[in-house]
């Protein structure tokens, strides 16, 4: 079973964000693998261990993205494709998906996996759009994958604690729900092995897809507060005493 | 401008976010002299379409087909792309549900268009619509505009608009117009099977008046007893954000957020929870929200009534002690 996993690199969770127009200042902050995508990668590696085949990590962005690609290779992906694009952050969901779909089309794959959404833009559209562009069946928010006889039986999460089983033929595109598995760490052996693995770089412009945007982020900003927050300060003991007082006599909830 | 709202049912009943989106459409229509149509899709849903016709809409489009009885992304995309092509709306609005996430971006792409998903509001800037959505897990907001020609597609987050503001039809009822669509079984590649819930929950957090919730800040499962002691002292239930339940540190039934429970307790004490939107949609209805987090910029503080910028490992035991003391005095 040959699987492509789409992996995005995003600002590190604890990175202090300095807003610059419609994006952030990228110097001085760390980047990491988008956490939802790490679950998709892990699921791909498990499917490969069970059914054989190859796992290809696919990532788009500037040179820094290579760091995340190497992490995917160290965890067990067999090879990687890097779509190089310094202006990646300015693409809209459809533009990103067009480039990813064009790169996927050059490969012979049975399954394309994505995470649920990215921790930066949070569009949550990539997997569904790739399926649409490649005319493949798809399913999202997947909590379990079983493969038998060229078909998949999937467990899909719905809202409010409900789930649904669905059957889906291969090839297909799945968006993986976070928490579907326990993500592995890269071993030293894996890190060493990754150095010999292939990273094929393609410039996004060379894929021949439209860069015309359907939507534009005009600006980003710190959201205006809707509630007036009363901050309590002091030593932990003082703060605790104040809070109990407030909850008892002001909010009257205890 | 013609606005079309795609409504959604959840197991045969209204998904309330549908009405919230209809309110958004009514407000946008009032600001831009537009008309609102509502669309009902499924099989055997004519009675619900009639109910929609009682709202302040110009018309209700009823799209019924045997192959639309159960939701499938292929069936919905095939049917709705036909409807959008024939009825030519300028703006198509959806409630931002898991189902909409599953098909709407593809529907837009089939027509060569984009979708602005998960919006929390909009602004009308002299005729140009600006949609507001969150980025960086709620740490920033973003103003987003459509580029290129209509139709435009957007979805609104649950709770972004108040469904009790939904206006009734001024003169009784709008017309319900059936729209025929052509579908064949081969187009639908996935097969939906049964719906189910996991093992019955032992705890119903929706009924708990006091909730003590933990997030990533708890760091390790060994630290959870500190939060449990606090929950016991306050007489509340323990709950968590998704990562904690994903790790298996607390059972899934204790999870608050879009994929877990939605609660509205008297008191919600958020400990080491950053306040990502997926969590906030599940608890923003709480009457009093207390947030303790070491990051002063954590988005949870935006909705907190009381905030403590500090170390939960210092605050938790101190608060437990203060509560015990208050009880005994």
Share of chain B above pLDDT 70, in %: 99
CA–centroid distance for B68 within its chain: 23
B282 at A interface, C-beta within 8 A: no
Q: Is the dihedral of CA B183, B185, B187, B192 positive or negative?
A: positive
- Angle between helices A35-51 and A65-75 in degrees, nearest 10: 30
Per-residue pLDDT at B217: 97
Asked if B60 and B18 sit in the same domain, the reply is yes
Domain boundary among B156, B187, B218: B187
pLDDT digit string (tens) for chain A, length 254 residues: 999 999 999 999 888 899 999 999 998 899 999 999 999 999 999 999 999 999 999 999 999 999 999 999 999 999 999 999 999 999 999 999 999 999 999 999 999 999 999 999 999 999 999 999 999 999 999 999 999 998 999 999 988 778 999 999 999 999 999 989 999 999 999 999 999 999 999 999 999 998 889 999 999 999 877 778 999 999 999 999 999 999 999 999 98
A window 97-156, beta carbon within 8 A of B: 97, 119-125, 128-129, 131-133, 137-141
> Distance between CA B55 and CA B77 in Å, rounded?
26
Instruction: Let me know if B300 is exposed, middle or buried by CB neighbors in 10 A (0-12, 13-18, 19+).
Output: buried
Per-residue pLDDT at B201: 60
Predicted TM-score of the model (pTM): 0.88
| Partners of residue B144 in chain A, C-beta under 8 Å | 215-218
B197 within domain boundaries: no
Residues B208-232: pLDDT tens digits? 899 999 999 999 999 999 999 999 9
- Angle between helices A126-134 and A93-105 in degrees, nearest 10: 50
Q: Determine which of B150, B308, B309, B313 to mutate to test the interface with A (most A C-beta atoms within 10 Å).
A: B308
> Distance between CA A65 and CA A83 in Å, rounded?
9
Q: Determine which of A16, A97, A123 to mutate to test the interface with B (most B C-beta atoms within 10 Å).
A: A123
Q: Is A189 helix (H, G, I), strand (E, B) or coil?
A: helix
Say if residues A60 and A83 touch (Cβ distance below 8 Å). yes
B110 within domain boundaries: yes
Residue of A nearest to B99 (CA): A158
Which of A11, A218, A243 is closest, CB to CB, to B145? A218
Closest CA to B5 of B40, B34, B31, B30: B40
B260 at A interface, C-beta within 8 A: yes
B77 at A interface, C-beta within 8 A: yes
> Distance between CA B145 and CA A190 in Å, rounded?
44
What is each CA distance from B57 to B5, B6, B119, B248, in whole angstroms? 10, 13, 22, 47
pLDDT band at B281 (very low <50, low <70, confident <90, very high): confident
Q: Is B218 helix (H, G, I), strand (E, B) or coil?
A: helix
Residues B76-92: pLDDT tens digits? 999 999 999 999 999 99
Say if residues A91 and A213 touch (Cβ distance below 8 Å). yes
Which runs of E-coded beta strand occur in B147-224?
152-156, 176-178, 191-197, 210-214
Which of A165, A229, A253 is closest, CB to CB, to B267? A253
Domain boundary among B187, B213, B240: B187
> Distance between CA B52 and CA B7 in Å, rounded?
9
Please work out, in degrees rounded to the nearest 5, the angle formed at the alpha carbon of residue A214 by the alpha carbons of A213 and A218: 80
| Partners of residue A138 in chain B, C-beta under 8 Å | 73, 106, 190
* Domain segments of chain A as ranges: 2-207, 223-254
Q: Is B319 helix (H, G, I), strand (E, B) or coil?
A: helix
| Partners of residue B295 in chain A, C-beta under 8 Å | 14
| Partners of residue B245 in chain A, C-beta under 8 Å | 179
Per-residue pLDDT at A192: 97
pLDDT band at B106 (very low <50, low <70, confident <90, very high): very high
Q: Is the pLDDT of residue B199 over 70?
A: no
Q: Is the pLDDT of residue B317 over 90?
A: yes
CATH of A2-207 among 3.40.30.160, 3.40.640.10, 1.10.3720.10, 3.40.50.620 = 3.40.50.620
Interchain proximity B306–A237, CB inside 8 Å: no
Per-residue pLDDT at A68: 98
Write out the residue range of the structural domain in which residue B54 sits.
Answer: 2-187
The total number of structural domains in chain B stands at 2
B196 within domain boundaries: no
- The helix or strand, by DSSP H or E, that contains position A191, with its residue range, turns out to be helix A188-194
Which of B106, B262, B307 is closest, CB to CB, to A131? B106
The secondary structure of residue A249, as a DSSP letter, is I
Which of B103, B133, B190 is closest, CB to CB, to A167? B190
């Amino acid at each position: 079973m040959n699987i492509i996993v789409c992996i995005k690199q995003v600002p590190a969770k604890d990175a202090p964000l300095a807003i610059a127009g419609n994006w952030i200042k990228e110097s001085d902050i760390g980047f990491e693998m988008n956490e939802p995508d790490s679950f998709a990668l892990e699921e791909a590696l498990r499917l490969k261990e069970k059914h054989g085949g190859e796992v290809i990590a696919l990532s788009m962005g500037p040179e820094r993205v290579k760091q995340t690609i190497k992490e995917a290779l160290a965890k067990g992906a067999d090879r990687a494709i890097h779509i190089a694009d310094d202006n990646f952050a300015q693409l809209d969901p459809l533009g990103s998906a067009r480039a990813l779909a064009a790169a996927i089309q050059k490969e012979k794959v049975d399954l394309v996996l994505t995470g649920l959404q990215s921790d930066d833009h949070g569009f949550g559209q990539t997997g569904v759009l790739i399926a649409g562009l490649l005319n493949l069946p798809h399913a999202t928010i997947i909590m379990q994958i079983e493969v038998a006889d060229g078909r998949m039986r999937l467990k899909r999460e719905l809202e409010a604690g409900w789930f649904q089983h669905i059957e889906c033929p291969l090839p297909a595109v799945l968006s993986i729900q976070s928490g579907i598995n326990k993500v592995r760490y890269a071993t030293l052996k894996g890190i060493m092995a990754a150095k010999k693995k292939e990273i094929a770089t393609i410039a996004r412009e060379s894929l021949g897809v439209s860069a015309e945007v359907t939507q534009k982020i005009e600006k980003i900003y710190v959201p205006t507060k809707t509630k007036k927050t009363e901050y309590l300060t002091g030593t932990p003991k003082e703060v605790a005493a104040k809070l109990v007082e407030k909850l008892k006599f002001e909010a009257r909830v205890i | 401008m013609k606005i079309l709202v795609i409504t959604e049912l959840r197991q045969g009943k209204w998904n309330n976010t549908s009405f919230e989106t209809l309110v958004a459409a009514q407000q946008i229509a009032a600001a831009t002299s537009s008309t609102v149509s509502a669309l009902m899709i499924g099989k055997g849903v004519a009675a619900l379409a009639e109910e929609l016709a009682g709202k302040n809409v110009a018309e209700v489009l009823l799209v019924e087909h045997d192959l639309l009885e159960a939701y499938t992304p292929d069936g919905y995309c095939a049917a709705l792309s036909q409807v959008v092509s024939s009825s030519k709306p300028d703006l198509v609005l959806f409630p931002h549900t898991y189902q909409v996430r599953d098909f709407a971006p593809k529907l837009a792409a089939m027509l060569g268009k984009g979708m602005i998903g998960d919006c929390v509001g909009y602004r009308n800037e002299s005729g140009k619509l600006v949609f507001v959505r969150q980025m960086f897990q709620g740490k920033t907001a973003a103003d987003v505009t459509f580029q290129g020609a209509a139709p435009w597609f957007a979805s609104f987050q649950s709770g972004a608009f108040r469904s009790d503001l939904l206006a009734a039809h001024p003169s009784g009822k709008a017309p319900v117009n059936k729209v025929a669509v052509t579908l064949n079984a081969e187009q639908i590649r996935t097969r939906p099977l049964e719906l189910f819930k996991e093992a019955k929950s032992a705890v119903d957090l929706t009924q708990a008046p006091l909730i003590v919730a933990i997030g990533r800040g708890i760091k390790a499962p060994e630290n959870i007893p500190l939060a449990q002691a606090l929950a016991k002292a306050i007489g509340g239930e323990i709950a968590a954000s998704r990562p904690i339940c994903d790790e298996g540190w607390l059972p899934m039934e204790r999870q608050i957020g879009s994929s877990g429970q939605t609660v509205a307790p008297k008191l919600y004490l958020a400990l080491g929870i950053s306040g990502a939107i997926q969590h906030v949609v599940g608890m923003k209805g709480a009457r009093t929200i207390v947030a303790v987090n070491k990051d002063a910029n954590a988005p949870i503080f935006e909705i907190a009534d009381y905030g403590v910028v500090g170390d939960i490992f210092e605050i938790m035991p101190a608060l437990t002690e203060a509560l015990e003391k208050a009880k005994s005095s």
